[in-house]
Amino acid sequence: MTPHCPKRLPGRIVLLLASLASLSAGCGGSSEAPSNTTSEPGSAPEAAAAPRSQPAPAAASSTGQRSRSEPASGPRLVFDETYVDFGEIDDTRPVQCEFFFRNDGTEVLEIARMKASCGCTTPELDRKVFEPGDGDSIRVDWDPRGLGLQSQSVTVFVKHEARPTILTVRARVTPRVRAVPNVIDFGTVQQNESKTVSIDLFGNPDGVKILRVTPKVAGSVTAVFVPGTGDGETTPFGQLEVKLLPRDRRGAFASAVLLTNLVVPEDKSDPYEYEFEVSLRASVHGVVVAEPDAFYVGRVAPKDTVDYPLRLRRPDGAAFQLEHAKLVQCNVPSLRLETQSGSDERGHFVELFIRGSVEDSMGLLRGSVNVLTDVPGDEELTLGVMGMIRD
Q: Are 152 and 116 in contact (CB under 8 A)?
A: yes
CA 54 to chain centre: 38
- CATH of 77-174 given 3.30.1360.10, 3.40.50.1100, 3.10.20.30, 2.60.40.10: 2.60.40.10
Cis peptide leading into residue 94 (ω within 30°):
no
Residues 6+ apart with CB under 8 A from 352: 309, 310, 311, 312, 325, 337, 338, 339, 369, 371, 383
Domain boundary assignment for the chain: 77-174, 177-285, 289-389
State the pLDDT at residue 70.
58
- The residue type at 341: S
Backbone angles phi, psi at 271, to 5 degrees: -65, 155
Homologous superfamily assigned to 289-389: Immunoglobulins (2.60.40.10)
State the pLDDT at residue 68.
42
Cα 119 from Cα 276, distance rounded (Å): 17
Pick from 271, 297, 273, 294: which is nearest to 282 by CA?
Answer: 294
DSSP class of residue 105 equals B
Which contiguous run of DSSP H or E holds residue 24? helix 11-26
Cα 367 from Cα 263, distance rounded (Å): 42
Pick from 300, 289, 281, 305: which is nearest to 366 by CA?
Answer: 300
Q: Are 352 and 324 in contact (CB under 8 A)?
A: no
State the pLDDT at residue 207.
79
Same CATH fold assignment for domains 77-174 and 289-389: yes
Q: What value, to the nearest 5°, has the Cα angle with vertex 158 and ends 153 and 160?
A: 145
Pick from 176, 158, 155, 159: which is nearest to 167 by CA?
Answer: 155
Specify the fold of 177-285: Immunoglobulin-like (2.60.40)
3-state SS, residue 52: coil
State the pLDDT at residue 209.
87
Cα 198 from Cα 46, distance rounded (Å): 83
Pick from 360, 319, 359: which is nearest to 342 by CA?
Answer: 319
State the pLDDT at residue 145.
80
CA 255 to chain centre: 25
Pick from 75, 74, 77: which is nearest to 164 by CA?
Answer: 77
DSSP 101-157: EEE-BSS-EEEEEEEESSTTEEEE-S--EE-TT-EEEEEEEE---SSEEEEEEEEEE
3-state SS, residue 345: coil
Cα 26 from Cα 63, distance rounded (Å): 36
Please report, in tens digits, the pLDDT of each residue of the chain (391 residues total). 444 444 444 444 333 334 434 434 444 443 333 333 333 333 333 333 333 333 333 333 333 333 345 556 789 999 999 999 999 998 888 999 999 999 999 999 999 999 999 999 999 999 999 999 999 999 999 998 878 899 999 999 999 888 999 999 999 998 889 999 999 999 989 888 999 999 999 987 777 889 999 999 889 999 999 999 999 889 999 999 999 999 888 778 899 999 998 888 877 788 889 888 999 999 888 889 899 989 999 999 999 999 999 999 998 999 999 999 999 999 999 999 999 999 999 999 999 999 999 988 788 999 999 999 999 878 888 899 999 998 8
Residues 6+ apart with CB under 8 A from 139: 96, 97, 98, 123, 124, 125
The pTM of the whole model exceeds 0.75: no
DSSP class of residue 143 equals -
Q: Are 281 and 185 in contact (CB under 8 A)?
A: yes
Cα 97 from Cα 324, distance rounded (Å): 57
